[in-house]
Amino acid sequence: MESQKKWWWVSYAITPLLIGLKVLLVAFCLNFLKLLDIEGIEKIKFSDFLFLTLLAELIFTISGFYKFFNFYWLQTDYKLQDLQTYYPLSLLNFREQISTEKWMAYPLQVANLFEIGYWIVLAVGIRELFVEKISYLKSFSLVALTYGIGLLFWVGVVCFMILNASY
């Protein structure tokens, strides 16, 4: 407890760095679109992907406000574990009905409505970046091809680390 009191400021300093790293990695994944032979993609710069990703990150800010609202006004009787494991509108909230495996917690947390909103914002942004507009279905499939594969890889790595740490 004493060390937590001494180093409380570190979490506030690291949080913007981690969010910045996440934004860079998502923009890097979206930048792989340039490897595809799509007309008009050569005019899109990395900074455009970076701005789009920063804009989409606002979705997760809304999820933070939702979590605060839930625990401050609706569910006022909670434990610390409830606060740590709760993720708004995710399948993790239904883990008793789905799975009790410890390693499944992170994939269930990632599967949430805010993540779907994030994908939609990225897909609409990709569509708007093209000079000649592409269909929403094609832009969503491009997001799935780039960010989706990156997210799948990330979830696999985290699950692998959880499995290794727990056994």
Q: Which two tokens stand for residue 89?
A: 């509108």
* Whether the predicted pLDDT of 50 surpasses 70: yes
Say which residue, 79 or 24, is predicted with more confidence. 24
Give the whole-angstrom CA distance, residue 2 versus residue 78. Answer: 24
Q: What is the mean pLDDT of the chain?
A: 89
pLDDT (average), residues 60-87? 86
pTM over 0.75: yes
pLDDT at 25: 96
Taking alpha carbons only, the member of 118, 107, 110, 92 closest to residue 26 is: 118
Say which residue, 167 or 115, is predicted with more confidence. 115
The residue with tokens 């990330």 is 154
Q: Where are the alpha helices (DSSP H) in 32-167?
A: 46-56, 58-69, 80-85, 95-98, 105-110, 113-129, 136-143, 149-166
* Whether the predicted pLDDT of 97 surpasses 80: no
pLDDT at 95: 66
What tens digit of pLDDT does each residue of 104-152 get? 888 989 999 999 999 999 999 999 999 888 999 999 999 999 999 999 9
The band of 56, judged by pLDDT with boundaries at 50, 70 and 90, is very high
Say which residue, 69 or 81, is predicted with more confidence. 69
Q: For the chain, how far is it from start to end, CA to CA, in angstroms?
A: 28
